[in-house]
Amino acid sequence: MSEITPVISATGLYTPPETISNEELVASFNAYVELFNQRHAAEIASGAVEPLQPSSAEFIEKASGIKSRHVMSKASTLDPETMGPRWPERPDDEISVMAEIGVKAARAALESIGRDPEDVDAVLCAASNMQRPYPAMAIEIQQALGIEGFAFDMNVACSSATFGIQTAADFIRSGNARSVLVVSPEICTGHNNMKNRDSHFIFGDVATAVLVEARDMAPARHWEIVGTRLKTVFSNNIRNNFGFLNCATPETIGTPDKLFVQEGRKVFKEVVPMVASMIVDHANDLGIDPASLRRLWLHQANSGMNRLIAQRVLGHEANEDESPTVLDTYGNTSSAGSIIAFHLHNADLAAGDTALICSFGAGYSAGTVFIRKAA
């Protein structure tokens, strides 16, 4: 039996309209620092409590490349008394927030090629953090779109979307599905600790969707999936302990280790070589010269990491054309980052161009998806 070739038929993006600049974020953080230091003035004076240090917009841009980010709930995120997204709890018969933005990205993907939801067989909600354990977010998205078949959630942190693409491609190769939506709604501000000076600036919110299909049903303009590879290596350097067994009391919810924590320097040092050699090895195994890759849509966590990875892969410092950045305006959007970069920066490539979508993050986890433009 000849294998069915999976392709990327379409992508979709939902960008929340509200944005927070570094300057706005730092003003809020510094107001929180001032409040904290005032409230703990006596303990600080006695040496029992360390005073908090202010943040700086210059540091953020220099250390990460981030200038601004889109968010789901600007006012509460900037309020020094809340510092996180807040909205009224929705009743069970109303679509949940995470599903709502996933549906918007998915609809954009389907409509871009005039695909009827009835022709889609499966929905994967691939993201860093689900809004609830069950019913699966993916099933709510499936129902809202009017898709039959099956759906499930998967969480591989920042690599969720590439792991989802490989899973979808495998379903297609095996004949278990012909059209699969991989949806990545990422409300990262909900699991970031906006009171942590080292990482309060990192994340933004967004939703993306990738439609993976059997080549014979795809539109003429598609991307052949030439090869996918996944890798995981356990590390505590990026961790989030939130969970129903770890949040026994309301008091412990929101404590620092129940939100995103990282050893940013260690992550930088360990993940760059791991990902660069994974890309080069995978390219070589596929018979692709890494230096010939037309474009790298890399995970968007830190511009310095991307510069180093692209340099090791291409053999020279990559320019924006070779390795586009969306981090400056979106921040780190976890698994959605490389998909945003692909969605916004693929139209100019020519038929036959080979390029790479690559993600990496907590786990550690990394995924490579080599694709070739068909037309």
Question: For binding to ligand COA (CB under 6 A), which residues are involved?
Answer: 55-56, 59-60, 63-64, 158, 197-198, 238, 262, 264-265, 267-268, 301-302, 305, 332, 361-362
Q: How far is the CB of 207 from ligand COA (least distance, A)?
A: 17
Cα–Cα distance for residue pair 210/181, rounded to 1 Å: 6
Cα–Cα distance for residue pair 279/338, rounded to 1 Å: 14
Give residue 157's region: left, alpha or beta (phi > 0; psi -120 to 50): left
E strands, 252-294, where? 261-262
User: Which CB sits closer to ligand COA, 126 or 267?
Assistant: 267
User: Which CB sits closer to ligand COA, 56 or 143?
Assistant: 56
Give the residue at shortest CB distance from ligand COA: 264
Residues 6+ apart with CB under 8 A from 90: 96, 97
Q: How far is the CB of 262 from ligand COA (least distance, A)?
A: 5
Q: How far is the CB of 359 from ligand COA (least distance, A)?
A: 10
Q: Which residues pair with 357 in a beta bridge?
A: 297, 369
User: Measured between alpha carbons, how far apart are the two ends of the chain, in Å?
Assistant: 27
Give me the catalytic one of 125, 158, 188, 358.
158
Instruction: Report CA torsion sign: 222, 298, 74, 86.
Output: positive
Q: How far is the CB of 335 from ligand COA (least distance, A)?
A: 9
Is residue 158 flagged as an active site residue?
A: yes
User: Which CB sits closer to ligand COA, 332 or 354?
Assistant: 332
Q: Which residues pair with 182 in a beta bridge?
A: 124, 210
User: Which CB sits closer to ligand COA, 79 or 198?
Assistant: 198
User: Which CB sits closer to ligand COA, 150 or 268?
Assistant: 268
Four-point Cα dihedral 212, 214, 219, 223, nearest 10? 60
- Half-sphere CA count of 9, side-chain side, radius 13 A: 31
User: Which CB sits closer to ligand COA, 238 or 283?
Assistant: 238
DSSP secondary structure string for all residues of 34-70? HHHHHHTHHHHHHTSSPPPPPP-HHHHHHHH---EEE
Q: How far is the CB of 97 from ligand COA (least distance, A)?
A: 21
Place of tokens 């760059």: 272
Q: How far is the CB of 102 from ligand COA (least distance, A)?
A: 20
Buried (b) or exposed (e) across 105-142, using 16+ Cβ within 10 A?
bbbbbbebeebebeebbbbbbbbbbbeeeeebbbbbbb
Q: Which residues are catalytic?
A: 158
